[in-house]
Amino acid sequence: ETEIPESHPRYESLLTRHRIEHGVDIGITSRQGLIAQGRGEAYDYLLGEQTIESADDAARAAAAHFLLADQAVVSVNGNVAALVPGEVVELADATGADIEVNLFNRTRERMEAIADHLREHGAEDVKGLAADGEIPGLDHARAKVDADGIGSADVVLVPLEDGDRAQALSAMGKTEVVIDLNPLSRSAQAASVPIVDNIIRAVPNITRHARELRDADEAELRAVVDSFDAETALEAAERAIRRGE
C-alpha cells in the first residue's frame, strides 16, 4: 500500500500518516479525527513509541476476555477504520468477534464509506447500519447501536472512544476494552481493560495474544483476566508518559 520500507526508522509513523491522509481522501477521517490523531502522536512520542509492559499485559487480558465472551464486538470509528482496517478484520477472525461501525458524528455517507473500507480489507459482516438499539444515558444521536451488535454484546472493544460513550457502555455492565494513548482520559479511566498504546501496535498485539491463548481452557483464561489490574496499568502508563520510565 505504500513505498515506505519497513526498515525505515520512522516506518510506523509514516505509515500512520499515510493511512490517515488516505482516510481523509476517501471521506472516513473527520476534522476531529485529524486533531485526535495529533493528540495520539504527542502521547506516543512521550511514551517512546513502544508497547510498554503494562499495555502488553492489557492486550493479553483483552484477548482472554474476547475468548471468554458470549459475544464480543469491535467498535470501529473513522480513525480506527483508517488506521487499522485489515488488523481489525484479523482480530475479528481470530476471536469470532463482530465488527460494528459506530460514529460520534454519524452520517449515512461516512457510515457506508467506513463499512466499504472494512469490506475491502476482508470484513464479511459489518454491523452498525441497522442502529435499532440504544445505549442508555446518552443523547439520542450519540446513543445508536445495533441491537444484535454492541447492544447485546458482553465484551466490547472501543478503540479511541469518546469519554461519555465509554462511560455509558461501562455503566451497562459490559466488559469494556479501551485503546487510548492518554491514561488520564475518561475513556481509559472507565475501561475494564485500558490499553495505553498506539492502535497500530495494540490491535495486532491483541490478535497475537488471542492466537497464543487459542487452546487455553476457561480456567487459564480466567487467570489471565484476573491477574490484570486496570488501576495499576494506568498508573504505570502515566509514569511512562510523565517520566519516560
Interface residues with its own copies (CB under 8 A) are 20-21, 24, 31, 34-43, 45-46, 182, 184, 241-244
State in angstroms the smallest separation of the CB of 30 from its own copies.
10
- In the structure grid, which three cell numbers stand for residue 121, read together? 480489507
Query: To the nearest whole angstrom, how small is the minimum distance from the Cβ of residue 33 to its own copies?
Result: 9
Q: With respect to its own copies, which residue has the nearer C-beta, 149 or 194?
A: 194
Query: Is the CB of 119 or the CB of 186 nearer to its own copies?
Result: 186
Q: Which three cell numbers stand for residue 62?
A: 483483552
Q: Could you count the other beta carbons within 10 Å of the beta carbon of residue 12?
A: 17
Q: How far is the CB of 18 from its own copies (least distance, A)?
A: 12
The CA distance from 51 to 198, in Å, is 8
Minimum distance between the CB of residue 213 and its own copies, rounded to whole angstroms? 33
Q: Closest CB to its own copies among 97 and 199? A: 199
| Residue among 196, 176, 182 at smallest CA distance from 75 | 176
Considering beta carbons, is residue 184 or 216 the nearer one to its own copies? 184
Strands 193-195 and 126-127: unpaired
Contacts of 199 (CB under 8 A, 6+ apart): 40, 79, 80, 83, 84, 159, 160, 179
